[in-house]
Amino acid sequence: MVDQLIIRVSQLNRYNDCPRGNAVRFMRRQIEKDGHTLAETQPSVAAAMGTAVHAMVAELFKQKMQFGECDVDEAFDNRETGFIEEISKGCEWDATTNNVDVAKLQLKSLCRAFLPVVSVVDPVAVEDEMEYLVSPLGGEAVPILLIGHRDVKDKHNEIHDHKTTSSKEIPKCHAQLGGYALLSMYNGEEVSGVRVNAAPRLPKSRVHECAVRSVRFDLAECLAAAWNTLREIQTQYMTYLEKGDEHVFPANQYSQSCTPKYCSAYNSTWCKVGCCE
């Protein structure tokens, strides 16, 4: 048993999509210690680009804070190397982004798409890491060290989370937004609202159409989603310690992530639910 579970706020969104698959993200070492063999999965190009866009937009906000103006080319140049290094370790390309040249074109387009947001938002914090020890169950339960990077907190105490998406739809990320709000509140800060700024990763022929949509979410709903997800994680983990049975973590064979490409638990002794062989 560990002294604490380390959960990143970014893990909260997808946890209930498939708890057994997502449990690997925070207790892989324990799962393997208990005799299960898990596969290694390669990161997707979408994930690598999401990381790069976050870094580039953070660069734009920092430029604004320091100089009062922004330069997309400079932000791209400063962060391009990190992206190349990440994908050089191996990544899963897809139909939208099938090589590095297309990826660079899309990255610059995405970075430029965030300029209207940067121009109207006055940041007081950019990419700052926060953490807090929480325990929804209380008592003797193993506590959770909740960790997260807020993309931006503005002068109106609103928290912004930036997203790159595969479509023009706004991603449903209530639990993640609530997690950032919880961390901020636990660290003594006021939170007036939570917001997603999302831009689609479009094919090479349509990068000129890339534009950000900004949507405010209901703060109370997001806080409830985050807290209840943390409680589910803690409850399932404590039950697993008692029973030693991986089935206390529900598995969802209908999840889009239930493939060997995306889930390292697929067809392992930890999870046979998604495989019919």
| DSSP per residue, 205-251 | GGGGG---EEEEEPHHHHHHHHHHHHHHHHHHHHHHHHH--GGGS--
Give the separation between CA 42 and CA 261, rounded to whole angstroms. 8
Q: What average pLDDT score do residues 132-148 get? A: 97
Which DSSP state fits 136?
T
Write down the pLDDT at residue 38: 94
Write down the pLDDT at residue 277: 60
Which helix (H) or strand (E) covers residue 6, if one does?
strand 5-8
Residues 160 and 151: beta-carbon distance below 8 Å = yes
Write down the pLDDT at residue 276: 61
- State the pLDDT confidence band at 40, using cuts at 50, 70 and 90: confident
CATH 3.40.50 fits 45-227, yes or no: no
pTM: 0.94
Q: Given a cut of 90, is residue 170 above it in pLDDT?
A: no
Write down the pLDDT at residue 274: 79
- Lowest-confidence range among 78-87, 176-185, 197-206? 78-87
Write down the pLDDT at residue 231: 98
Residues 196 and 214: beta-carbon distance below 8 Å = yes
